[in-house]
Amino acid sequence: MGHPDFRVHNKIFATLGYPDAAWGVVMLTPEEQQDFIDTKHAIFELAPGAWGRKGSTRVRLEDADETSVRSAIEKAYRRMAAPKAKAKGV
């Protein structure tokens, strides 16, 4: 896609340079996303459209602090790295 992404189990949990070099994106749950936006609204914002409503969160890199970004990335990584529960009867 022309920008670096970070994956675990072949699933993207964060990207850099999207939509341009001033931004990153981290894949959170909608609840986690809202917590970050509420507490650090200068850094985090909802990504546009359906992706944003599902937890895709833009990170304004110029205003970002290491602690907040590290926390968001760790949450996204853990969620993507966690094994999925098997469906019953399968």
Is the torsion defined by CA of 12, 18, 21, 24 positive or negative?
negative
Strand ranges in 11-53 using DSSP code E only, listed in sequence order: 11-16, 23-27, 44-46
* Domain residue ranges of the chain, discontinuous segments joined by +: 8-63
Residue 66: both structure tokens together: 């290491």
Q: Residue 84: phi, psi to the nearest 5?
A: -80, 140
Kindly report the pTM of this predicted structure.
Answer: 0.86
Low-confidence ranges of the chain (pLDDT < 70): 1, 85-90
Write down the pLDDT at residue 31. 97
